[in-house]
Structure 1
Amino acid sequence: MQTFYKVASLALLSSVIVGCSSTPTEPEPVAPSTPPLSQSDRYQEERYDLKDDTAPEKPMSVEHVEDAMPQYEPYSLGGTRDYTVRGKRYHIIKDPKGFKQKGQASWYGKKFHGHQTSIGEVYDMYSMSAAHKELPLPSYVKVTNLGNGKSAIVRVNDRGPFHDGRIIDLSFAAAKKLDVIKTGVANVEIEVITVDKPNSQTKKQALPKYQIQVASSSNKERVETLANDLGQKLSVDSFVNSENEIHRVILGPFDDYELTQKTLEQVKLLGYSSAFVRKI
């Protein structure tokens, strides 16, 4: 019985490390010489609700989704460990400062939406996030589509893509902003953005604040009711910002970005998947 629990635990751990491993528009063909899947890889393929990845049937607009905001974040314990996927060993970059890389970007969407990333966060295809094989997690990366010059900043919190030539897997929102959705893959350049750990003096001089915009509507009464309800449920400050007859539910402000992200995850679990963080 103890052996069974050890095997199950290893399978679960491996499934979290693997993260995203496919491209929505180009499923990887299985060659005849491909070796049988290990127990952990088989668990990885069976853990999702969908067999193949797809874009959302009725995608929400991502025009309001802002770039990820680079800031100092300590690396997660699991995000700095070397790991093995399908027999290949991956070594994490110890000092990513100044790291640049060119290659193909792919993207991942509905299949992985709502499931855990390799560091235990919930993958949200409407957030500006991404996956990389060797960067420590989390990292912030500027991605430039070399085909059209468009760029965006994403927060890397997952592992993948495990395909030759592909260097980064973008969330649906990030891929949409870079016009990668139509082509499935695109030639890109990525550049790591590092932020030094603030000292006590820096914190006193410039302490950023954040808000969460949950939803907007022309119905002011409905928005006010939602703001009060969320404020009570989440034990946070809430208010309504009205401009040009559009009323927005705002939570915050927050001084701590990590707390802001945790609150954002709670908001999305309540059904408001288009909520986003903004700096003030």
Structure 2
Amino acid sequence: MLAMMAGCSTTDQNGEHKSLIPLPWKHKVTRVDPKLPNLPPAGSGRGGYYQDDGPGANPPPGLLDTPDAVVKYEPYAKFANKPYSVFGQTYTPLINDEPFTQRGVASWYGVKFHGQRTSSGEAYDMYKMTAAHPTLPIPSYARVTSLESGKSVVVRINDRGPFHSDRVIDVSYTAALKLGLLGKGSHQVQVERLFPGDVMQLASARRAAASEALSMSTRSSSMRAA
């Protein structure tokens, strides 16, 4: 349960945090991508992020070009979709294929949890397109759209949280970067669950619309010629 409350925390038998992947604060800063916003360091108390969390010291280049998560079928994680309680509130994860749409505040989590175990059992990588949600299935996929910047990303849900009444989803550092919410720390967003068929249906609808527009243009040109 402590792991759930921390979001991505895992500890050994001595109560010390164990990292599953290299931690960015142990890296020597070499070159910072000039396209990334200049944020205060983690633990400075000056960031828009939560408490002592924050950006890594040496983020990899090209994060703005990171592609969205690819929506695909995956079996639900065995132990990550059972009812659980945090801070006296019980959450019941969804285990169906029903549509889900939600509006609220999105925040992001970064270096504090980077490399630690998520609720799915995977290591949290702040540079991938992932997110934490209290009740969406693990794993599942969602489109997160900032109602302030208008930007949209697709993320893979692989963790639980946030457990604050004013927030609905915690996205990774890279997802926050692409949404434009890194500096402020949070934005009003819309969360929409996605299914594997949604991408194909959207592509088919776009092709049909383009075909109809071309057909109407051809008919119009024929009528003018006549």
Query: Which bracket does the TM-score occupy, shorter chain normalised?
Result: 0.5 to 0.7
The reply on whether 1:73 has 2:82 as its aligned counterpart is no
For 1:130 and 1:178, how far apart are their aligned partners in 2? 13
- What is the correspondence of 1:1-280 to structure 2 with a 5 Å cutoff? 14-20=1-7, 47=17, 52-61=52-61, 62-195=63-196
Identity %: 43
Q: Please tell me the residue identity of whatever aligns with 1:179.
A: G
Q: Which runs of 5+ in 2 are unaligned?
A: 20-24, 26-42, 44-51, 198-226
Q: Which runs of 5+ in 1 are unaligned?
A: 1-13, 22-39, 197-280
For 1:54 and 1:173, how far apart are their aligned partners in 2? 12
Shift of 1:59: 2.4
For 1:118 and 1:15, how far apart are their aligned partners in 2? 11
Q: CA RMSD in A?
A: 2.7
- Other structure's SS at 2:175 match: helix
Q: Over residues 218-245 of structure 1, what are the superposed CA-to-partner deviations in whole Å (9 max), with x where a residue is unaligned?
A: xxxxxxxxxxxxxxxxxxxxxxxxxxxx
Q: Please tell me the residue identity of whatever aligns with 1:59.
A: P
For 1:59 and 1:90, how far apart are their aligned partners in 2? 34
For 2:104 and 2:18, how far apart are their aligned partners in 1? 28
TM-score using structure 1 length: 0.54
Shift of 1:46: 6.6
Q: Over residues 16-66 of structure 1, what are the superposed CA-to-partner deviations in whole Å (9 max), with x where a residue is unaligned?
A: 333528xxxxxxxxxxxxxxxxxx9xx9x9747898211112322302311
* Greater fraction of residues in strand: 1
Shift of 1:119: 1.5
Aligned length: 164
- Shifted more, 86-95 versus 51-60: the winner is 51-60
The equivalent residue for 2:210 is none
Structure with more contact order per residue of length (Cα contacts < 8 Å, sep ≥ 6):
2
Report the CA distance shift for 1:186/1:96 in structure 2 as closer, same or farther (over 3 A). Answer: farther
For 1:167 and 1:153, how far apart are their aligned partners in 2? 16
Matched-pair contact (CA < 8 Å) for 1:16–1:119: no
